[in-house]
Copies of this chain bind each other. A is one copy, B any other.
Amino acid sequence: MIQTTTTAHTNIALIKYWGKKDPVLHLPYTDSLSLTLDSYYTTTTTSFLAGDTDQVRVNNQVASPQFFKRTQQFLNLVRTLNNSQQAIAVETINHVPTAAGLASSASGFAALSGSLNKLFQMNLSRKELSCLARRGSGSATRSIYGGFVQWHQGKDNPSSFAEAIDENPSLPIRLISVVISKQAKKISSTQGMEHAVNTSPFYAQWPQVVNCDMQAMLQALKTQDLEAVGRIAENNCLAMHALNWTSRPAFSYFTKETLQIINLVHKLRSRGYCAYYTIDAGANVKVITSLQDVAAVQQQIQLNFPQAQLTLLKPGPGIK
């Protein structure tokens, strides 16, 4: 039996993806930019099955109906591309704890795309793979590559893909994932961005905000300016969340703990530490810091939030 395995790492967006101009193809309204992370990843094995029933297992368990359905939709897409009707077995081992507040769908669909690429011997380039992964989950587009990655929004299926900006960053960037709330978020990112696109009076400005932030971020990466990277990421994150706060009716992923960690980050920065934050569609905060300051910053966060679960993250690799 042919079996192919691929590992893909999750990523954190420093310039956020918020709003789909095509919800079926997952074409975004703007470019985005992410950092692939080392510790959180998904390993997916696929193989052909006799019979006509797909099998999907996650962490050695039969997948939930919801997970099965989403995976099968993707399998159908890949079968169509290959004029195939063969049933497929998918074995996923997810090293992205749900509580981490980092999207496992990013690493999940990147790994699934990579594995199916080998299984069907499609010989897709990484650029083509990033297009394919996008069909499973927008942010999976970026998890094909390591390090800093830019997703070009594009205008149709082949032109919306990601590209590596710096796969093995020498920039001494570190992230601390601060988990304060393990409550599932009430509004999914798909629902949230759709509502913001449709109702926030500030959404019209969002593409321009991203353009400016993107130019500044590419420049900061070129000049290896870690403080600028943090500052731009923090600003962009707040602009994204402001779209939610100004949706009508308004919603927010922030809790009081989110605000408290934000305040602590400000305090650490005023004391001279490299410390910025970024927040995805959830209550948990990721603190951006430097190799030099990461130990001190981590210690301060733990001291102030003894209940918080902290994980240290550094740049991670592309799919293997």
Q: Which of A31-39, A135-143, A218-226, A252-260 is the contact stretch?
A: A252-260
Q: Using CB atoms, name the residue of chain B closest to A241.
A: B245
Q: Which residues of B contact A245 (CB under 8 A)?
A: 238, 241-242, 245
Q: Mark A99-118, 1 if CB is under 8 A from B, else 0.
A: 00000000000000000000
A79–B248 Cα distance when bound, in Å, is 48
Query: Could you tell me which A residues sit within 8 Å of B by CB distance?
Result: 201-202, 204-205, 208-209, 212, 231, 234-235, 238-239, 241-242, 245-246, 248-250, 254-257, 259-260
Are the C-beta atoms of B260 and A234 separated by less than 8 Å? no
Q: Which residues of B contact A246 (CB under 8 A)?
A: 235, 238-239, 242
- A253 to chain B minimum Cβ distance, whole angstroms, is 12
Are the C-beta atoms of A248 and B235 separated by less than 8 Å? yes
Q: Using CB atoms, name the residue of chain B closest to A204.
A: B205
Q: Using CB atoms, name the residue of chain B closest to A203.
A: B205
Q: Which residues of B contact A249 (CB under 8 A)?
A: 231, 235
Are the C-beta atoms of A239 and B201 separated by less than 8 Å? yes
A255–B258 Cα distance when bound, in Å, is 11
* Ranked 7 nearest A-B pairs via Cβ: A256-B256, A242-B242, A202-B202, A201-B209, A242-B246, A239-B246, A256-B259
Q: Which residues of B contact A254 (CB under 8 A)?
A: 259
* Contact for A205 among B201, B255, B256, CB less than 8 A: B201
- A219 to chain B minimum Cβ distance, whole angstroms, is 16
